Amino acid sequence: MTRPTRSDLDSRRFGVEVFRSVIEDDGDLDAAIACDAELVVARVATASIGAVQRLEAAGFFLTDTLVYFRGATNHFDAPATLEGLQIRDVVERDQLERVTRGAFTDFFGHYHTDPRLDSEAATEGYVEWSCSALAWTDGFVIGAFDDATLAGFATVKIADGAGEIVLNGVAPAYQRRGIYAALVASIGHRLKAAGVGAIFSSTQIQNLGPQKTWARAGLLPGESFHTLHRWR
């Protein structure tokens, strides 16, 4: 049971009252539909077609679909190497900001696909999110560097014996050179070495790059969720 909850972060970022709802049962569904907030963001399992149809009938519209991939770290044998690039922890906040901003401008997550939300504010949300990981004590931020220039990064959080790749991005000028695949290989190896047995991540269903990379690393598709928005 998860009732709609005010998102202070989203409300501040977009200057509107945003409530978020994770729909797990009929009570959650009724509460999301009854919620009077200016913007309600609802997440619901793709398998719950009846719930999705009730949300649509109540004025919600689809903004993205997330799919989770999960696997074991014992598949990861060696840290990755990338010709000319160095993989190490990121401590440089300004570089992380630059790469996140570049990778997530006009992204296709649910903030950017809602035409009433400011696109720049949506991008800055990802910047804030990636940089918040620099202070995590239960995870790390790993990056691929071209000399001193950060080319790509991933933030990883560890909890309950599993490492989650939370957010990742490669600067547009460095995309499609295998940087993300190398970061995932390094993350898996590092988690395994630390005794963390499971690895998982999620992305929008149409984001094929990460899914191809995860599948090659032995991760398998699992649960998936629609995100829907409704304005008052």
Ligand X SMILES: CC(C)(COP(=O)(O)OP(=O)(O)OC[C@H]1O[C@@H](n2cnc3c(N)ncnc32)[C@H](O)[C@@H]1OP(=O)(O)O)[C@@H](O)C(=O)NCCC(=O)NCCS
Q: Does 123 bind ligand X (CB under 6 A)?
A: no
From the list 118, 207, 218, 224, which residue makes contact with ligand X (rule: CB under 6 A)?
A: 207
List the one residue from 63, 73, 130, 213 that touches ligand X (CB under 6 A): 213
Nearer to ligand X, 106 or 147 (CB): 106
Binding mask 84-113 for ligand X (x = CB under 6 A): -------------------xx---------
Confirm if 73 and 163 have CB atoms less than 8 A apart: yes
Residues in contact with ligand X, shown as a per-residue x/- string from 47 to 86 under the rule CB under 6 A: ----------------------------------------
**Footprint (CB under 6 A) of ligand X, residues 142-201:** 152, 168-170, 175-181
Q: What is the bridge-based pairing of β-strands 162-170 and 149-159?
A: antiparallel
Q: How far is the CB of 54 from ligand X (least distance, A)?
A: 29
Name the residue number minimizing CB distance to ligand X.
209
8 A C-beta contact, residue 148 and residue 80 = no
Query: Where does the chain have alpha helices with state H?
Result: 8-14, 26-34, 49-57, 93-104, 110-113, 119-132, 179-193, 208-216
Residue with smaller CB distance to ligand X, 32 or 179: 179
List C-alpha distances in Å: 48 to 24, 29, 181, 195, 214: 9, 11, 33, 36, 25
For residues 179 and 181, what is the distance between their CA atoms, to the nearest angstrom?
5
- Least Å distance between CB 2 and ligand X? 23
CB nearer to ligand X: give 14 or 104.
104
CB contact at 8 A, 44 and 229: no
Residues sharing a CB contact under 8 Å with residue 42, sequence separation 6 or more, in sequence order: 20, 21, 22, 23, 32, 55, 60, 227, 228, 229, 230
CB of 90 to ligand X, least distance (A): 14
CA distances from 226 to 47, 53, 93, 97 (A): 10, 12, 32, 28
Give yes or no for residue 209 binding ligand X (CB under 6 A).
Answer: yes
Tell me whether residue 75 or residue 177 sits nearer to ligand X (CB atom). 177
Q: What is the nearest approach in angstroms of ligand X to the Cβ of residue 181?
A: 4
Select from 229, 232, 231 the least CA-distant residue to 113: 229
Nearer to ligand X, 56 or 89 (CB): 89
Residues engaged in binding ligand X (CB under 6 A): 103-104, 152, 168-170, 175-181, 203, 207-210, 212-213
